[in-house]
Amino acid sequence: FSVNLLASIGFGPALGMAAVPNAVIQKYEGSFFSFIKGVLGGDLQTLAGGPLFLLLNKYFLEYGPIFNLAFGPKAFLVISDPVMSRHILRTATTDQYCKGMLAEILEPIMGKGLIPADPATWRVRRRAIVPGFHKKWLNRMVTLFNERAEILSNDLKMKEGKVVDMEERFCSVTLDIIGKAVFNYDFGSVTNESPIVKAVYRVLREAEHRSSSFIPYWNLPYADQWMGGQVEFRRDMTMLDDILADLINEAVSTRREASVEELEERDNADDPSLLRFLVDMRGEDLSSMTLRDDLMTMLIAGHETTAAMLTWTLFELARGDPGLFREVQHEVRTVLKGKDQPDYHDLISMKKLRYSLIEGLRLYPEPPLLIRRARTEDTLPQGSSKMGEGIKVLRGTDIFISTWNLHRSPDLWENPEKFDPTRWDRPFKNPSVKGWEGYDPDKVTGLYPNEVATDFAFLPFGGGQRKCVGDQFAVMEAAVTLSVLLKNFDFIFEGSPDDVGMKTGATIHTMNGLKMRPKVVSDDDEIPPSDGWWEKQHLKRGLSASG
């Protein structure tokens, strides 16, 4: 079954971009019924015949790092180039690009929270929220991560030898962590199923479905009163909003106002949450809507993203070269031998573990696309594309920056499809990519190689002013959780790694779960020998590079 979507849906608006190839989704390769379902449901994934970012990867390899994608009534400029991405994310001012259609989709859920916020709102809220992520708080969070990893570990010990869906376990532990960290609420989802936890997941699925739809079905008149999923969505949102309202009221009623400096020193042992910090901050806007939007945004932004990083890293470690798995386990068990819990310094010592997690984010970026809309006319720098100088972007143009394509570009990475955490120890550069500085390991400061060290070839947490506020939090959370698991367990795939599959929404999920059997190891067991696998990889690359 094959159909020209432009013809069948009717039109494709001109974006007015000059000298950019057009990729038009013309051939639909599914069944007649799934095509009708896709059109009626307004579902981009169905129309794309699978995850949209995979289709964009195909076009990227065919048309290069910038092309115009016409998709029925929608059109996007798709960018997979570090120099242009750097321009949009960092060089341009916050007023020049906004979140565009992402904001329209997320607004009913996140309101004016930081992710969808328009530039004016964003400026005020970002200034209020960032101080909450101060150093002492992050250290306090390491204790929380440990407590929660321990609960997960004990639960897995009880399930030893049985089949466990590790993706589901990671989603539960990260939900419990974000609930406590952001508003001191214990979802308890690692050990219990509750209607609230179910409501959170249904809201997340609805948000993901909306973000892959080109028809805003949720805006149909009274949709929340007659349309199946929308009635339930409204009920779920009301339930979550009620919980948040109670937590906010409680925090406001026990407010102890102080300056940011005083708050950084305050020991809120009972309630170290961001909500407590924001409510106590002198001069903070205490309107419950503002707080609600911020909390809801962080609940959604900080939950499945971290779970996905853990899921895909464990997947790649377990299915890859056994030498690498042994090497990372050896590092973890050596650093944590005789210790109850990893602390910040241990996380710094476990570089192979951190680089594995970051390599997981390279291959599976969350989200795989960043979305922007030009608010004013702009000219993009030439970048690595073979296009002419300066591509004009008209006001109103919708843009996808494909992190998936950037992270897997053959122009930017050696063996881009290979899970190879050792790559982060070696510099790389490609002189044919004009204006791109390449990656310099000496520029890595802190916990992970970021967008600056890679000159915007790697955007795990975005870049520029709207970069993720939770990057340090997430990397530490994932490093604590995975280290506790690798210290206590071996993991054996149930079935073949090929059964895991992949599907997408805002984050990349498995199709069938990450089914594994945990096998307990004790601290007294011999640490598996490291046969110098990591160093040998460098040697191999060095030798092959010099011929």
Contact residues for ligand HEM, defined by CB under 6 A: 114-115, 126, 297-298, 301-302, 305-306, 309, 361, 366, 370, 460-462, 466, 468-470, 473-474
**Between 41 and 100, whose beta carbon lies closer to ligand HEM?**
100
**277/280 Cα distance (integer angstroms):** 5
Query: How many C-beta atoms lie closer than 10 Å to residue 27's C-beta?
Result: 11
**Between 25 and 317, whose beta carbon lies closer to ligand HEM?**
317
Q: In one letter, which amino acid is 238?
A: T
**Between 409 and 537, whose beta carbon lies closer to ligand HEM?**
409
**Between 69 and 361, whose beta carbon lies closer to ligand HEM?**
361
**Between 473 and 534, whose beta carbon lies closer to ligand HEM?**
473
Residue 333 beta carbon to ligand HEM: minimum distance, rounded to whole angstroms? 24
**Between 12 and 470, whose beta carbon lies closer to ligand HEM?**
470
**Between 6 and 138, whose beta carbon lies closer to ligand HEM?**
138
Residue 108 beta carbon to ligand HEM: minimum distance, rounded to whole angstroms? 17
Both tokens assigned to 437? 């500085």
**Between 47 and 298, whose beta carbon lies closer to ligand HEM?**
298
**Between 47 and 299, whose beta carbon lies closer to ligand HEM?**
299
The position carrying tokens 């079954």 is: 1
Residue pair 360/313 in contact (Cβ under 8 Å)? The answer is yes
Per DSSP, the three-state class of 30 is: coil
What's the angle, vertex CA 484, arms to CA 482 and CA 489, rounded to 5?
90
Which residue, judged by CB position, is nearest to ligand HEM in the bound state?
A: 470
Cis peptide leading into 131, omega within 30 of 0? Answer: no
Q: CA nearest 172: which of 144, 146, 142, 152?
A: 152
**Between 352 and 407, whose beta carbon lies closer to ligand HEM?**
407
Q: How buried is 501 (Cβ within 10 angstroms: 0-12 exposed, 13-18 middle, 19+ buried)? A: exposed
Residue 253 beta carbon to ligand HEM: minimum distance, rounded to whole angstroms? 25
List CB contacts of 496: < 8 A, sequence separation 6 or more: none
Residue 477 beta carbon to ligand HEM: minimum distance, rounded to whole angstroms? 7
What's the angle, vertex CA 471, arms to CA 448 and CA 78, rounded to 5?
90
Residue 430 beta carbon to ligand HEM: minimum distance, rounded to whole angstroms? 24
**80/293 Cα distance (integer angstroms):** 31
Residue pair 412/430 in contact (Cβ under 8 Å)? The answer is yes
> How would you write 506-543 as a 3-class SS string?
CCEECCCCCEEEEEECCCCCCCCCCCCHHHHHHHHHHH
Residue 136 beta carbon to ligand HEM: minimum distance, rounded to whole angstroms? 16
Residue 308 beta carbon to ligand HEM: minimum distance, rounded to whole angstroms? 7
**63/66 Cα distance (integer angstroms):** 7
Residue 305 beta carbon to ligand HEM: minimum distance, rounded to whole angstroms? 3
Q: In one letter, which amino acid is 423?
A: R
**544/102 Cα distance (integer angstroms):** 44
**319/494 Cα distance (integer angstroms):** 11
Residue 113 beta carbon to ligand HEM: minimum distance, rounded to whole angstroms? 7
**522/88 Cα distance (integer angstroms):** 50
Alpha helices in 87-165 (DSSP H): 101-110, 119-129, 135-158
**Between 39 and 479, whose beta carbon lies closer to ligand HEM?**
479
Query: How many C-beta atoms lie closer than 10 Å to residue 90's C-beta?
Result: 16
Residue 404 beta carbon to ligand HEM: minimum distance, rounded to whole angstroms? 12
Residue 140 beta carbon to ligand HEM: minimum distance, rounded to whole angstroms? 14
